Structure 1
Amino acid sequence: MRAYLAFTKKELTEYTRNFKLFLAIALFALLGIMNPLTAKFLPDLLGNFMPEGITILIAEPTNLDSWTQFFKNGTQIGLFIIVILLSGMMAKEYEKGTLINMVTKGLPRRTILFSKFTGALLLWTISYWLCFFITLGYTLYYFPEGTTENLALSVISLYLFGVLLIAVLLLGAVLFKNAYGPLLLSGAFLMVLFLWNLFPEASEWNPLMLASRNMDMLQGTLLLEQLWNSLLTAGLMIGSALFAAVKIFKKSGL
């Protein structure tokens, strides 16, 4: 446990030194600010930029528009940022050979991987929930009369999908030992999930639902009872990716 905590601390220190933590916090904080602002002022901006004589009828923005921006930016931008920042989580260690010294001094390989996963998970957790609470604060300010019933379910679902992507990235880092392999594996993984939806009978088991139907959850048309299969699949995939990464890392050269 002491070695695990020490190596995890090293990971967080590296994220600070290479500015990844600062960059993630800054970008996700910006997204958190932009979500409600876009929902609030986009209709006015569209009206001002339209040519004379042309009018567009746009409904009055509500808090749901703010959360629509949150989930849209979270999946299209937020997850992309995290994947890019974490794609090289083990590439430098392989390149510089620093893992050899750690392993020869008795540090278990599984401890290295779990510390890497924990560090990446903390980066995602801090960034994601910072974005959420900023969005929540501004949404309550601009749309105080709006109500949301299943907000916790929808935001936790997207968060868990991010954890799944991090596990896939770690597996890719072990398999390819560079920064490009994890990106390719993540892209292939997402492609498989999109193709999965082509089979309606199996789509309820697709973990992509956790990141694609958040507004349905928020509006009460998709309930927790209907997500159990997707949650189970996501949990099994996270565990399988970590298990495979540990097994492969134990047998691979450094």
Structure 2
Amino acid sequence: MSQWLTLFQKEILEMWRNFKWIWVPITFILLGVSEPLTSYYLPQIVKSFGNLPDGAIFEIPKPTAGAVLASGLSQYSTIGVLVIILGTMGIIAGERKNGVAAMILVKPVSYFSYVTSKWAGSLLLVWISLFIGYISTWYYTGQLFDWVPIGEFFQSFVLYGLWLTVILTVTVFFSAALLSTGMAGFISLALALVVSILSSAFSHLLEWSPSQLTSYASALLIAGDLPDDTLPASLTTLLLIVVLLWLSVFLFKKKELAA
């Protein structure tokens, strides 16, 4: 356990040196505050740049607080996913390529500790960044529109956190399986995009898909109730994370021993 904690602390320190603890949370905060501000000032923006004829009246209905918060969350499914993949695609592949992984594994370090400590460090960064960004969205939504119940805030936060954890774990998996950092990032992004599109197009058949958690979180914020398939989708997500993490360790060990 002390070995794992040492590697975990090393990963946290490395992310400080790479300024990930600065630019990732800042990016999530900017994503978080942009949606409520844009929604609130949209009528003025349209009036200023809409080039409407004199006397024309263009009314935009005021969105509900839940709709604004759900729209803010959707930012993390697009730009947020891209930030996570770009920030973690070289987490293992990069160290394998420059020889750092081999230097660490020469010592009595287990492959499991090496992979999982990196995953856990990035996981901490993702969840903290998401929380900071999302609570910014919640705060500005409450100030400009209305307050969404704190219980719904935390439930939707956990659901989105689980989906982003899947994205992170998929990226770690390809980073462990491939030597090319760019290829690991490209495949992870393409896979996330394909799964999201398929889950959206065939939502009636893929109710348990991890990507459906984003839809369930939005449904909670807008309608006030969680869909019935939320729990099965959450359990499927947790199982997928465990399996992908185990496969990451297995493939990384196999490739390192074959090298």
Give the 4+ runs in structure 1 shifted more than 6 A.
none
Consecutive unaligned residues in structure 2, runs of 5 or more: none
Q: Tell me the TM-score normalised to structure 2 length.
A: 0.89
Q: Distance in 1 between matches of 2:63 and 2:205?
A: 36
Partner of 1:18: 18
Q: Pick from 236, 244, 249: which aligns with 1:246?
A: 249
Cα deviation code 1:152-178 (max 9, x no counterpart): 322211110000111111110011122
Q: Distance in 2 between matches of 1:226 and 1:121?
A: 25
Q: Distance in 2 between matches of 1:126 and 1:89?
A: 18
Q: 1:92 and 2:94 equivalent?
A: yes
Kindly state the Cα deviation for residue 201 of structure 1 after the two structures are TM-superposed.
Answer: 5.2
Partner of 2:31: 31
Q: Distance in 1 between matches of 2:103 and 2:97?
A: 13
Partner of 2:228: 225
What letter matches 1:10 in structure 2?
K
Q: Distance in 2 between matches of 1:145 and 1:201?
A: 32
Change in 2 beyond 3 A, CA 1:99/1:148: closer
Partner of 2:42: 42
Q: 1:59 and 2:56 equivalent?
A: no
Q: Is the 8 A contact 2:90 2:181 kept in 1?
A: yes
The count of corresponding residues between Structure 1 and Structure 2 is 254
Partner of 1:124: 126
Partner of 1:203: 206
SS at match of 1:12: helix
Q: Is the 8 A contact 2:208 2:229 kept in 1?
A: no
Q: 1:215 and 2:218 equivalent?
A: yes
CA RMSD of aligned residues (A): 2.2
Q: Tell me the TM-score normalised to structure 1 length.
A: 0.90
Partner of 2:187: 185
SS at match of 2:245: helix
Q: Distance in 1 between matches of 2:199 and 2:227?
A: 21
